[in-house]
Structure 1
Amino acid sequence: MKPIAKHLSAACHPRVLATGLLATAMAAQAETTVQIYGIVDTGIQVQNKTAGSNDGRVSMNTSNLRQSVWGLRGSEDLGNGLKAFFNLESHIAVDTGGLFGDGQGESPLFRRQANVGLSGSWGSITLGRQYGPALLAHVATEPRAFKEQFSSLYTWAYNQLESINGGGANNTNDDVGIFMKNAIQYRGSYGPVTGGILYALGEQAGDTSANSILALGLTYTGPVTLSFSHEYMKDANTGEKVVEHTGLGAAVSLGDWAFKGNFHRSDNSAEDGSRVSKVDVLGLGVDWKWNPNNMVTVAYYDARDKENRSNHTKNLVIGNETYLSKRTTLYATLAVVDADTGATGTQALRTSIVNDASFRAGSTTSFFNFGIHHNF
């Protein structure tokens, strides 16, 4: 007993305990990573007309190439190929310093991501607020890779924003069809196919289906890139499908050139299930990397609401990005929007590739923006 008591006594010496705790803390730190990251993007936009007026406007626009964000992410190696991870990501407006609202009257600090999960060779499971798999499936096939301005990101988003459909429908888990609340998502890769499936819990008493979201996105990466997505959202009160959205895309790279095509259809319904809008958006584009530090993109978008034939826009976009470094880009973009007479008011949002739909209906509006994009 004496030798054991002697060893215990030595082990409990304050200096030995401090050394042991320090070693344990250092080992834990070595297995855990936490990173702060972000994007800061803003520029000047000039347009020759505005909605309902022939008057032009000059404005400062945040997030022209990519969203301006800051966030925290981290992971811990749990051994045997298993990792725990978390994501906290905030959406900011560089022009004002404020937070972006979610379209339902709230401006959450971590609007884009607030989640935790586990990953391994089998894929990953994520719980919490997160990106939906449908949009992620088409990033490589959308003509402008869903840039924050002048792409089909806005026709995608506005056609899945419940508060604008005019029918009183509501799904509180939906944030413009891009970010999902109360969600569980599995993501994995099987050979050349990568994808995810997500379910957002409705949390409604007496009806587990009401207010829920189901979303699927798949991408095949080979000589040709192919993408597919489908998602639907149910009303919180009636359980009717109030949004149903499907997308298809393809892309192929040939040297310094990349050709892309993407199509998505959005069906919006009132809370009783009656159709409010049916919007088809076709996008075609080409990237040309004309030297190591510059890339030109030319894209064309046709967006029309089949429930309101006069709500139709035809859009031509030409942009150049100059890469000053891996972290800093200068950009300049020209967009021309030819809008029919029905593309006005909230209806205009459904067929708009412009973030605020500030083009004039029944006319042609030109936009030019230039700015700086920096990531850290």
Structure 2
Amino acid sequence: MFAKKNLVAVAALLAMAGAAQAQSSVKLYGYLEMDAGSYETAHAKGTSSRVTKVQSGDMMTSFVGLAGSEDLGGGLKAEFTLESFLGVDTGEAAGNYANKAGGFWSRASNVALSGGFGKVALGQYDNPLFTSAYTYNPFGSSMTFSPTMRHLNYLTPAVQTSIPNSGVKFDTGWVNSVTYESPVFSGFQAIGQYAAKETSTPDTTNSYALAGSYNAGPFSAMLTYVKGGLTDKPNATTYYAKSKVTDLGASYDFGVLKAFAQYTYIKDDTNDLKDKIYQLGVSVPVTEKASVMASFGNLNHKVAGQASNKDDVFSIGYNYDLSKRTSVFGAFMNNRQSANTGNDSSGQSYAVGIKHNF
């Protein structure tokens, strides 16, 4: 009888453990990329800035992540996400910034509750402007080949590829933030994000972003507005309390090709400057496994009382899927800058690489 009771108890515990496991889950995932290429920033005639590199992250920054969820019942879930940038070429933690601020989980670190009301996340979370920027151009979040990403100038000033002081004044993900994503209603979704400045420094302000997206079959569009901007890149102390960004992106999949368009307007009252950015692009499936991407973008950087500086970027690339998780690519980028001083400059970069998702 005693043995029988023990067996029943063990069976009950196993059943409870199985039920608990079914209600929660944790997964390890990531993206690894290695590239070899020749890179050149825009430079004046008679000079050279070309560098040959074997590096990681031309098409997207490599990372590893942990994510999990727990079913709380009644349609309510608890979720968490922890993601760390990774330089596969060196094995070191890396990021979009050369001197990326933050700790090990600098790509994402948040906890959230989701349900019929939508999702509320606290911690570091992607900013809606970044989401729009990589969604509506054929090169995604590529800081090397995407005209949009280059013109938004997410990179640290030490390695900026566009006109100095142009672009946004914040990172791709906002720390110390509260983010709300609504349920999808007939293709529409709303997003709101608030980031606390966490300082008593005078003339600083909290930052916020509002966005709305619409998806219907082959058509997709997103409108985003951002005010504030946190600090001017990592380790900086200057706040851009009056920086405002409006962005509109759209795409349409015609089957034979997918077309992308994006327009961004940046107004920085603190420095009395304006940026106008536009991008047009296409992605064309050549076979079931191969596709060609092309994109052109222009940045018009205007400081009050001065003539405009202009930056043009044209990129073309080829991607071939070796499997569902692994692909190889090749890409070329031409960059031309027209300075208000009359000194024009140009540069070309090209690379090949391999990408793997797990």
The residue that corresponds to 1:247 in the other structure is: 247
**Is 1:292 matched up with 2:284?**
no
The equivalences for 1:165-244 within 5 A come to: 176-188=170-182, 189-205=184-200, 210-222=204-216, 223-233=218-228, 241-244=241-244
Partner of 2:262 in structure 1? 262
Q: Is the 8 A contact 2:113 2:119 kept in 1?
A: yes
1-structure distance, mates of 2:290, 2:31: 20
Q: Quick one: structure 1 residues 36 and 303, their matched pair in 2 at CA, closer, same or farther if it must change by over 3 Å? A: same
> Does the aligned pair in 2 maintain the 1:143–1:284 contact within 8 Å?
no
Shift, 1:292, TM fit:
0.6
CA contact (8 A) 1:336 1:367 kept: yes
- Equivalent positions of 1:278-317 (< 5 A) are 278-307=274-303, 309=307, 311-317=309-315
State which of 49, 53, 59 in structure 2 corresponds to 1:59: 53
Q: 1:246 to 1:117 in 2, by over 3 A?
A: same
- Please state whether the residue corresponding to 1:306 is helix, strand or coil: strand
Change (3 A) 1:231 1:83: same
Identical residues among aligned pairs (%): 25
> How far 1:289 sits from its partner (Å)?
0.4
> Counterparts of 2:86 and 2:333 in 1: how far apart (Å)?
24
CA shift, 1:124, in A, is 0.6
1:143 positional shift = 4.0
Q: After TM superposition, list the pairs within 5 Å mapping 1:328-343 onto structure 2.
A: 328-341=326-339
Aligned length: 338
* Mapping 1:5-44, distance limit 5 Å: 19-44=11-36
- What is the distance in 1 between the residues matched to 2:74 and 2:150? 42
Deviation at 1:214, TM superposition (A): 0.2
> How many Å separate the matches in 2 of 1:274 and 1:341?
19
Change (3 A) 1:160 1:122: farther
Going from structure 1 to structure 2, the CA distance change for 1:33 and 1:139 (only over 3 Å counts) comes to: same
Change (3 A) 1:293 1:91: same
Preserved CA contact (<8 Å) 2:244 2:268 = yes
**1:160–1:268 CA contact under 8 A, matched in 2:** no
SS of corresponding position for 1:100: coil
Go from structure 1 to structure 2 and tell me whether the alpha carbon gap of 1:284 and 1:80 turns closer, same or farther (over 3 Å shift): same
Matched residue type, 2:266:
S
Task: Give the distance between the partners of 2:300 and 2:155, measured in 1 at CA.
Answer: 12
Following the alignment from structure 2 to structure 1, what is the Cα–Cα distance between the partners of residues 188 and 284?
A: 26
Instruction: State the TM-score, normalizing by the size of structure 1.
Output: 0.79
Amino acid at match of 1:123: G
Once residues 313 and 303 of structure 1 are traced to their aligned partners in structure 2, the CA distance between those partners, rounded to angstroms, is 5
Structure 1 residues 94 and 49, CA gap change in structure 2 (3 angstroms): same
Find the aligned partners of 1:175 and 1:55 in 2 and give their Cα distance. Answer: 26
1:281-304 per-residue CA deviation (whole Å, 9 max, x = no partner) reads 110011110111111011111112
Separation in 1 of the partners of 2:156 and 2:347? 25
Unaligned 5+ residue runs, structure 2?
232-236
Counterpart of 1:321 in structure 2 is: 319
Contact 1:68 1:93 in 2 (8 A): yes
CA contact (8 A) 1:265 1:280 kept: yes
Which secondary structure does the structure 2 equivalent of 1:155 belong to? helix
SS of residue matched to 1:25 = helix
Q: Tell me whether 18-27 or 91-100 shows the greater mean CA deviation.
A: 18-27
- Give the conservation status (yes or no) of the 8 Å contact 1:138–1:228: no
* 1:90-123 deviations in Å (ceiling 9; x for gaps): 0111122222255776352011111101111221
Alpha-carbon distance in 2 for matches of 1:234, 1:363: 30
Determine the structure 2 residue equivalent to 1:131.
126
The alpha carbon displacement at 1:46 in A equals 1.3
In structure 1, the residue matched to 2:234 is: none
Distance 1:19 1:255, change over 3 A: closer
Alignment correspondent of 1:90: 84
For residue 109 of structure 2, the aligned residue among 114, 123, 127 is 114
Q: 1:28 to 1:289 in 2, by over 3 A?
A: same
Based on CA coordinates, which of the two structures has the bigger radius of gyration? 1
Structure-2 residue corresponding to 1:357: none
After TM superposition, the structure 1 stretch with the greater mean CA deviation from structure 2, 235-244 or 212-221, is 235-244
Q: Over residues 170-219 of structure 1, what are the superposed CA-to-partner deviations in whole Å (9 max), with x where a residue is unaligned? A: xxxx9834210111111022211123110112223498x94411012222
Matched residues in 1 for 2:51 and 2:320: separation?
Answer: 26
Report the TM-score, using the length of structure 2 for normalisation: 0.83
The whole-number CA distance in structure 2 between the counterparts of 1:160 and 1:217 is 25
Structure 2 distance, partners of 1:260, 1:99, is: 32
Distance 2:194 2:356 in 1: 34
Cα deviation, residue 50, structure 1 = 6.6
Equivalent position of 1:347 in the other structure: none
Report the 3-state secondary structure (helix = DSSP H, G, I; strand = E; otherwise coil) of the residue aligned with 1:135. helix
Q: Which amino acid in 2 is paired with 1:90?
A: S
Q: Distance in 1 between matches of 2:199 and 2:41?
A: 45
Query: Cα offset for 1:20?
Result: 4.1
Question: 1:51 offset after TM fit, Å?
Answer: 4.6
Give, in whole Å, the separation in 1 of the partners of 2:42 and 2:214.
41
Q: In 2, Cα distance between the equivalents of 1:111 and 1:323?
A: 29
Is the Cα–Cα contact under 8 Å of residues 143 and 262 in structure 1 kept in the other structure?
Answer: no
